[in-house]
Amino acid sequence: MWLPKKRLKKIVIESIIIIPGHVTLDEVDIWFEDEARFGQQNTTTRIWTEKGSRTCVVRQQQFISAHIYGAVCPSTGQTEALISPILSMEMMEKHLQQISDATPAGRHALVIMDCASWHSIKLNSRFKNLSIMHLPPYSPELNPIEQVWAWLRANDLGNFAFKNYEDIVDQVSRAWNNFRHQVDHVKSLCKRDWANLIIN
């Protein structure tokens, strides 16, 4: 994705300021994090059918849903996810703990996310090997994990009729695991040249 030089420079400088001084830039792994809601009012997508026929897809009207906290590291292809019925700072801390645990010894994770209220910068102090960086307001196009949600809806979760909360969790888990095992796809879908500039 193309970014104006002024905006790119601001993101790069901010990321360097956030990273602790004892960490060199070649020790940093960039993670992109976001949340998405999946539930009974699901996405309908196009499907293959026999020529000349019309296939019906169920469009549910119920309101049961689950939230998935997801994170990807485009340089390594690593992913982490947490499914929860709610969005909260407590669940965010558990998700960040997953990322912290997945970060190898001697490495530092820079987790880039939007400015949601549960993405508090205060969580920075809980982890020695992780820093949080907020994207500019109203700029979801800068977070490649938005494309992950679109891919999951289009390829794995569209047109589903979910029975209950447990079924939603099962299907979202299956879809995420299907995505995360395609490491090359994770890298190609989420790689951003401007993000690589931060660690070059």
Q: What's the start-to-end Cα distance of the chain, in Å?
A: 18
Is residue 147 in some structural domain? yes
Q: Where in the sequence is the domain holding 161, given as residue range(s)?
A: 24-44+61-195
Nearest CA among 161, 193, 149, 132 for reference residue 58: 161
Q: Considering its fold, how many domains does the chain have in total?
A: 1
Is residue 6 in some structural domain? no
Is residue 19 in some structural domain? no
**What's the CATH code of the domain at 159?**
3.30.420.10
Assign 166 a pLDDT band (cuts: 50, 70, 90): very high
Is residue 12 in some structural domain? no
The mean pLDDT of 5-34, rounded to a whole number, is 78
User: Residue 108's pLDDT is what?
Assistant: 94
* pTM listed for this prediction: 0.83
Query: How confident is the model over 66-102, as pLDDT tens digits?
Result: 999 999 999 999 999 999 999 999 999 999 999 999 9
Is residue 17 in some structural domain? no
Handedness of CA 178, 138, 192, 13 (dihedral sign): negative
Is residue 9 in some structural domain? no
- Residue 163 CA, chain-centre distance (Å), reads 25
Is residue 106 in some structural domain? yes
What would the two tokens of residue 122 be?
């205060």
Is residue 81 in some structural domain? yes
Pairwise CA distance, residues 46 & 87, whole Å: 30
Phi, psi dihedral angles at 16 (to 5 degrees): -65, -40
User: Residue 169's pLDDT is what?
Assistant: 95
Phi, psi dihedral angles at 130 (to 5 degrees): -150, 140
Q: What is the mean pLDDT of the chain?
A: 85
Task: Note the helical H segments in the chain.
Answer: 5-18, 89-102, 145-152, 165-180, 183-190, 193-199
- Asked if the model's pLDDT at residue 199 lies above 60, the reply is no
